[in-house]
Amino acid sequence: MDGRGGKSVVVVGAGIVGAASAYFLAQSGFRVRLIEAKAPAAAASGAADGAVSVASKRPGPMMTTALAGIALYRQLDEEGLFAGLFKQRPTVMVAEDESEVESLTGHADALAGEGMALRRIEGEALRRYLPDVSSGVRLAIEVGNEGHAIGYEIVRRLIAASGVAVERDTTVHGLVESASGRSVAAVATSRGRVEADHFVIAAGGGSADLIGLSGIVRPRKGQLAVTERSPTLNAALPGALMSCRYLLSKDAIAGAAGTAARRFGLVVDPLRTGQFLIGGTREETADTGNDLAAIRHMLASAVRLLPPLARLRVIRVFSGVRSATRDGLPIIGRMPGRDNLVVATGFEGDGICLGPLVGQAVGRIVAGVPSELDLRPFAPDRFGQRSLVA
Other CB atoms within a 10 A radius of the CB of residue 171 amount to 15
Is residue 297 near other proteins by the rule CB under 8 A?
A: yes
Per DSSP bridges, beta strands 31-35 and 8-12 are parallel
Number of residues binding to other proteins, judged by CB under 8 A: 45
Answer for the pair 243, 309: CB distance below 8 angstroms, yes or no: no
List all residues 6 or more positions away from 111 whose beta carbon is below 8 Å from its beta carbon. 55, 59, 118, 141, 143
Is residue 4 near other proteins by the rule CB under 8 A?
A: no
Cβ of residue 83: shortest distance to other proteins, in angstroms?
A: 15
What are the beta bridge partners of residue 278? Answer: 225, 268
Interface with other proteins (CB under 8 A), residue from 78, 102, 109, 228: 228
Cβ of residue 232: shortest distance to other proteins, in angstroms?
A: 6
Window 168-227: residues binding other proteins (CB under 8 A): 168, 227
Is residue 318 near other proteins by the rule CB under 8 A?
A: yes
Is residue 46 near other proteins by the rule CB under 8 A?
A: yes
Per DSSP bridges, beta strands 198-201 and 8-12 are parallel
Phi, psi of 103 (to 5 degrees): -70, -35
199 vs 246, beta carbon nearer other proteins: 246
Interface with other proteins (CB under 8 A), residue from 80, 192, 313, 387: 313
Task: State the first-to-last Cα distance of the chain, in angstroms, to the nearest integer.
Answer: 33
Is residue 250 near other proteins by the rule CB under 8 A?
A: no
Segment interacting with other proteins (CB under 8 A) among 53-61, 121-129, 181-189, 301-309: 301-309
Answer for the pair 244, 100: CB distance below 8 angstroms, yes or no: yes
Is residue 291 near other proteins by the rule CB under 8 A?
A: yes
CA distances from 388 to 218, 347, 383 (A): 18, 21, 13
Report the residue count for the chain: 390
Segment interacting with other proteins (CB under 8 A) among 25-33, 101-109, 160-168, 205-213: 160-168
Is residue 311 near other proteins by the rule CB under 8 A?
A: yes
Phi, psi of 46 (to 5 degrees): -95, 0
Is residue 270 near other proteins by the rule CB under 8 A?
A: no
Interface with other proteins (CB under 8 A), residue from 162, 170, 301, 340: 301
Cβ of residue 257: shortest distance to other proteins, in angstroms?
A: 11
Per DSSP bridges, beta strands 166-167 and 31-35 are parallel
20 vs 154, beta carbon nearer other proteins: 154
Radius of gyration of the chain from its Cα atoms, rounded to whole angstroms: 21
Binding positions for other proteins, rule: CB under 8 A = 38-42, 46, 152-153, 156, 160, 165, 168, 227-232, 259, 274, 287, 289-293, 295-297, 299-304, 309-318
